[in-house]
Amino acid sequence: MKVDVLLGLQWGDEGKGKVVDVLTPHYDVIARFQGGPNAGHTLEFEGVKHVLHTIPSGIFRENTQNLVGNGVVIDPEVFKKEVVALENMGVNVKSKLKISRKAHLILPTHKLLDAASENAKGKNKIGSTLRGIGPAYMDKTGRNGLRVGDIELADFKNRYNTLVAKHLDILKSFKFKHNLKELEGPWFEGIEKLKSFELVDSEQYINSCLDNNMKVLAEGAQGSLLDIDFGSYPFVTSSNTISAGACTGLGIAPNRIGEVFGIFKAYCTRVGSGPFPTELENQIGERLRKEGNEFGATTGRPRRCGWLDIPALKYTAMISGVTQLIMMKADVLSAFKEILVCKKYNVNGHEMDYPPYDIKAKIDPVYDSLECWPDDLTGIKNTSEFPGQLNDYIKYVEEKVGLPITIISVGPDRSQTIVRDKNKVPVLA
Ligand code: GDP
Ligand code: IMO
Ligand code: MG
């Protein structure tokens, strides 16, 4: 069996959590492969909304295992809170969740370092979620990090103290005031919680699942335009959010990747700083934010909003070898008469059809105008009910990107998901 991958093609918050939850009954394992509690994945069913940060979005379904892979960075305090909330709702998390020993730990001092670094950047700040992601990945690549497997070792506390001493020196140089002791209590309680879970050599586990014909879905976090290599550096996150990240973040070979689901909103949003060519800093943008309820699932920050950006979509689909597209939040555009779609960029007088290297370059989007559908889509159950204008929009995007859109989402609930052609979604066929 192969691993299917589902990942965001924009700047995150495309609706990954919702679709992973919808697809979960067709898989045996759902695996997160990168990122950490900077992610906020929302699922809605039976009138209740759930937000997950570390735990894969397959956790609410019976009969599916969930794995936090080696590429993820875990904050034990956030992890514990998430587990307790799920357990209070009656979810048997322990029987359905495994954690890689090779996943790295986010220490309380990583969060302090994140805040100190952002402070020091002033108006050039990244707009980080301040969850300690950057500093934790720096320690990983700098070969100083602590891993989940270390908590099983007798000298864990010494290792912790050694790393914290380094961090305190850096914090001193930032002249950053803090109260570490206050943060350490809940963190060590989180470590105890982690210890009570099944810690696994996840590359062995996942490969043996594949050898035994089990179906695995890798759940991306963030979005391809936040990728550390291919995003708008330095306004990115610190991991590889593209399909290749699933290989390194789970220990699977590239030839074991099957379908790559690329998920995008029918428009664009971004939280934090950095280029956003089609951003609407006007009433239309505000309307998108209001109609789409565009506020961060992790930080509550208002999301920047703009029209769909085809050059960016084509670029990210190329980098990840996307095989099919999933379009989210089509219902939100019902509020508009006209939809604009950026088909190419004009960069300093030159046409470009992919994002330029220079993030300060002035990009003028070249738009096509499409007619919007006046109908409320949220009650639609079948493609035969799609208004003509929606079909035209779908066709336009498919032609421009060169990939089929196989699933359309028309509302936040599980049930508001329409598969256009079951035969094109192998897992549903
Ligand atoms: P993720 O990080 O990719 O999982 O996405 P988020 O959960 O951060 O943000 C997506 C938001 O859109 C959440 O509030 C979802 O409940 C909501 N959502 C998902 N799909 C749809 C949809 O088709 N229509 C509407 N109106 N909301 C949606
Ligand atoms: P999900 O998985 C949207 C953004 C932050 C910031 C930049 C770096 O819910 O789609 P970091 O905390 O990683 O140092 O922040 O990346 N960012 C996200 N934006 N959705 C996310 O995750 C994000 N995770 C990080 O806003 O601009
Ligand atoms: Mg999110």
Give the span between the Cα atoms of 314 and 312, in whole angstroms: 6
Read off the pLDDT of residues 118-171 as tens digits, 9 standing for 90 and up.
999 999 999 999 999 999 999 999 999 999 999 999 999 999 999 999 999 999
The answer to whether the CB of 35 is under 6 A from ligand 1 is no
Kindly state the helix (H) or strand (E) to which residue 268 belongs, with its residue range. Answer: strand 268-270
* pLDDT, tens digit, 9 for 90 and up, residues 229-272: 999 999 999 999 999 999 999 999 999 999 999 999 999 999 99
Is 41 catalytic? The answer is yes
Q: Cα(316) to centroid of ligand 2, in Å?
A: 17
Nearest bound ligand to the CA of residue 294: 1
**Nearest-angstrom CA–CA distance, 59 and 87:** 11
**Ligand 2 atom 27: the closest Cα is on which residue?**
272
In this prediction, residue 299 carries a pLDDT of 84
Give the global pTM.
0.97
The pLDDT of residue 428 is above 80: no
Rounded mean pLDDT, 5-17? 98
Give me the torsion for CA of 401, 407, 413, 416, rounded to 10°. 120
Name the band, by pLDDT with cuts 50, 70 and 90, for residue 178. very high
Q: Catalytic: which of 4, 41, 110, 139?
A: 41
Look at residue 429 in the predicted model and tell me its pLDDT: 65
Residue 306 host element (H or E):
strand 304-306
Pocket test residue of 22, 42, 57, 270 for ligand 1, highest count of atoms within 8 A of CB: 42
Pocket residues for ligand 2 (CB within 6 Å)? 8, 11-13, 35, 38-41, 126-129, 131, 133-134, 221-223, 226, 237, 271-272, 297
Q: How far is the CA of 225 from the centre of ligand 3 (A)?
A: 14
Return the residue whose CA atom lies nearest to atom 12 of ligand 1: 15
Catalytic residue, from 13, 139, 227, 309: name it.
13
In whole angstroms, what is the distance from residue 41 CA to residue 8 CA? 11
Q: What is the pLDDT of residue 422?
A: 80
**Which atom from ligand 1 is nearest to the alpha carbon of 43?**
16
CA atoms within 13 A on the CB side of 3: 33
Collect all residues with Cβ–Cβ distance below 8 Å to 395 and sequence separation of at least 6. Answer: none
Query: What's the gap in Å between 36 CA and the centre of ligand 3?
Result: 11
Does the active-site annotation cover 413?
no
For 318-329, the pLDDT digits (tens) are 999 999 999 999
Residue 411 confidence class, pLDDT cut points 50, 70, 90: very high
In whole angstroms, give the CA distance from residue 54 to residue 40.
Answer: 8
CA distance 111 to 133: 8
Query: What single letter denotes the amino acid at residue 72?
Result: V
Closest by CA to 262, choosing from 33, 23, 44, 16, is 16
Which of these, 130, 105, 126, 127, lies nearest to 115 by C-alpha position? 130
131 Cα nearest atom in ligand 2: 12
CA–CA dist 144, 129 (Å, integer): 22
Distance in Å, CA 281 to ligand 2 centroid: 20
Q: Give, using CA atoms, the residue closest to atom 9 of ligand 1.
A: 13
**Structure-token pair, residue 311:** 């050059």
Distance 46 CA to ligand 2 centre (A): 28
Residue 423: band (very low, low, confident or very high) from pLDDT cuts 50, 70, 90? confident
Tell me what the pLDDT averaged over the chain comes to: 96
Q: Considering only residues 300 and 50, tell me which one the structure prediction assigns the higher pLDDT.
A: 50
